[in-house]
Amino acid sequence: MKVASFNIQKFGKSKLSDPFVLKTLIKIVSRYDIIVILEVVDSSGDAVDNFLKELNKFNKTHHYTLEISTRLGRGNYKEQFMFLYRDDLVDLVGSYQYKDNQPGDEDAFAREPYVLRFKCHKTVLEDLVLMPVHTKPEDSVKELDELYDVFQNVKMKWKTDNIMILGDFNADGSYVSGKEMKTIRIRSDKDFHWLITDDEDTTASTRNDNTYDRIVVYGDDMLKAVVPNSAKPFNFQTAYKLAHEDVNKNHFTFELIFNHTYHKDMSYYCTFILQNEFSKHRFNVFTGTESE
């Protein structure tokens, strides 16, 4: 199962009014079983609805369902987190809008995380929680550190630690220094695994090679469920031979793949063969010998 996050700069009517951009974005999104879209600025919801309609026209094998947050942000400028997922492969079993009202530390986030919980049908990890992030650049250090509290809140609420934090962390360049990175709790706590390395260029911009976008998973079970080295940016400019300004000038998608489970029929077949092989022999646990 392939999961991704994509900061599509100003995803709304204006961007999607270009047929080429719409077609290319649908092609990109169709690579994934679950994808989180950041920076949705469609106040009417019309662009989002039309995108889902066109996405399902393009995909004949798998059907996508949409889940979207309320409009989030301080002042007049608002964004939404949008999830698109293949509903034959996962079930949405929970959603949670973080309240951001800790006493003495209210309004820590410009855009409070909107957290979803999925039941996955064909992966080794059946329970999966996704926590998307789009930090305000100048407040990135504080917001990233506060994600530790969100994690603990979600862990307590749903009694699971199968939690993935993903999105635009703005965790590089002038926004977060190496020294500041060490103070961030989801970085200093070794149970959190950062799967996008600090030297990976996640930006579509030709002006910098910063690692703004990240994927972080918690615990060894989550880490083992991920296909090794599958967490990486997808350079759609190179893959689709696009000019820099064609679709999205700031960010690539970044993705990972979860290991699949064995098919139930295959598992049964293997068990059947093993049982038959063992039944051919009678093993004496005292003598260490076997007889036909």
Catalytic residue annotation: 79, 134
Cβ–Cβ under 8 Å, residues 84 and 55? yes
Question: Would you give the DSSP letter of residue 170?
Answer: -
- How many whole angstroms separate alpha carbon 226 and alpha carbon 11? 29
- How many whole angstroms separate alpha carbon 269 and alpha carbon 265? 6
Cβ–Cβ under 8 Å, residues 201 and 211? yes
Q: What is the 3-state secondary structure (H, E, C) of 21-82?
A: HHHHHHHHHCCCCEEEEEEECCCCCHHHHHHHHHHHHHCCCCCEEEEECCCECCCCCCEEEE
Strand order in the sheet with 64-68: 64-68, 80-86, 34-40, 2-11, 253-257, 232-234
Other CB atoms within 10 Å distance of the CB of residue 35: 22
Question: Would you give the DSSP letter of residue 137?
Answer: G
Which alpha helices (H) appear in 116-263, and where do they start and end? Answer: 140-158, 178-181, 185-188, 219-225, 236-239
- How many whole angstroms separate alpha carbon 255 and alpha carbon 32? 8
- Diameter of the chain measured on Cα atoms: 81
